[in-house]
Structure 1
Amino acid sequence: MHFLLLGASGRTGQHVVSELLSQGYTAVALVRTSSSLTPRPGLTIVTGSPLSKSDIRNALFAVPSLSPSAAIITLNTVPQVSPPRFLADSCANVCEVLEHAGIRRIVVMSTAGVGDSWDNLPWLSKAFLSWTNVKYALEDHSLVDREIRLTKMDWTLVRAVRLQFDDQKLDATKREVKMLGSNGVGMSLSDSVSVTSVASFLVKVAVEGLLVKSAVVITN
């Protein structure tokens, strides 16, 4: 299988690349700067922006002999730095380009607190998300959550709880992932999930065609 990746140079995205290649798959990654991602066999790197449909098309057809089976998006937004609707517009662009190419599968990394998972967040988490600049990222993720449901794509939204970045090595041991449904019933303030676990889960969902047209909160 061959995959289109957006956000591959990020802290979670790099683990997605490693996971895919270790399983014998290939991928093309659209990145803002080519130096942000180390070249590896099986990985094609294309420079461009997810806000540009033409750049996405260039990435999609960068390997003429291979057509992506799915797209995996691990983009993030930086409050007060990224443009408004960065995630929502990027996702909309990818969906449009993929649909025109006859590709329907897309897996998007989201965050706990989006959509119906908000009600089950611990109150301290709600306070943090409401009173800090993180609220802008949450709003953008929420736009993705609402708007992707209006597309014809076979989407999956993976809502990760607090990310744990302690495992910096790309070959770090992956821990078991627990699924808490779309609404995250049972979330606690101490919940976290490692980036390797998230990457492994994203790849598994994309490869096996799981949770189509569904959202799920995950934790370790």
Structure 2
Amino acid sequence: MKVIVFGGTGTVGRLVVDQAVQQGHQVTVFTRDAATVPRSEPGRTVVEGNVFDAEALAPVVAGHDAVVVALGAGSRGGVRARGTAAVIAAMQASGVRRLIVQSTLGVGDSRGNLTFFWKYVMFGVLLRRAYADHVEQERLTRASGLDWTIVRPAAFTDGPRTGKYRAASGPTTGPV
């Protein structure tokens, strides 16, 4: 399978790229700075560009079987939704249908999984712009008409892979 990863040099995106390559997929890493991607690693094609330029993205996206969006901007926001909108436009222009978007736990129907602290302090005050960016990113994804999946991870440990995961689909009551 040919996969292109937007945000493939970030914390999560790098892991997505590594695991896709390990599983035998051909991976295109789209980055704003190609110098951040090791060139000697097999199974990766590196493309440098501007994720906000849908017209320039269309020929890069063309020919891929799936698109993964793992964009981030920390607490600033402003990158996820805008970049996802450009990726969606490029996919629609090039006929690529499969979209996987990384969002965050607490957006949409997963809001009930958050504690008071996360709802009102973290996402309500400290990370308000980042949260709003995720909300808009999900809205754009749902309205895209593409075959999409939204992934809402909860917490990362930066440790070695354990192979153990907890998952839920749809609304749940309490932390996953």
TM-score of the pair, normalised by structure 2: 0.91
User: What pairs up with 1:35-46 in 2 under 5 angstroms?
Assistant: 35-39=35-39, 40-46=41-47
- Identity rate, percent: 25
The 1:48/1:184 distance shift into structure 2, 3 A limit, reads farther
Q: Specify the alignment match of 2:93 in structure 1.
A: 100
Whole-angstrom distance in 1 between the partners of 2:84 and 2:98: 12
TM-score of the pair, normalised by structure 1: 0.73
Instruction: Decide which of 124, 139, 155 is 1:130's aligned counterpart.
Output: 124
**Which amino acid in structure 2 is aligned with residue 146 of structure 1?**
R
The alpha carbon displacement at 1:185 in A equals 2.7
Taking only aligned residues, the RMSD between alpha carbons, in angstroms, comes to 1.7
1:52 is aligned to 2:40: no
Q: How many residues align?
A: 174
Q: Is the 8 A contact 1:69 1:105 kept in 2?
A: yes
5+ long unaligned stretches in structure 2: none
| Displacement over 6 Å in runs of 4+ | none
Q: Specify the alignment match of 2:80 in structure 1.
A: 87
Whole-angstrom distance in 1 between the partners of 2:81 and 2:144: 12
**1:138 partner SS:** helix
Whole-angstrom distance in 2 between the partners of 1:48 and 1:18: 21
Q: Specify the alignment match of 2:68 in structure 1.
A: 72
Q: Is the 8 A contact 2:58 2:94 kept in 1?
A: no
Whole-angstrom distance in 1 between the partners of 2:56 and 2:112: 38
User: What pairs up with 1:131-210 in 2 under 5 angstroms?
Assistant: 131-132=125-126, 134-165=127-158, 167=159, 172-187=160-175
Whole-angstrom distance in 1 between the partners of 2:105 and 2:95: 30
Whole-angstrom distance in 1 between the partners of 2:90 and 2:12: 24
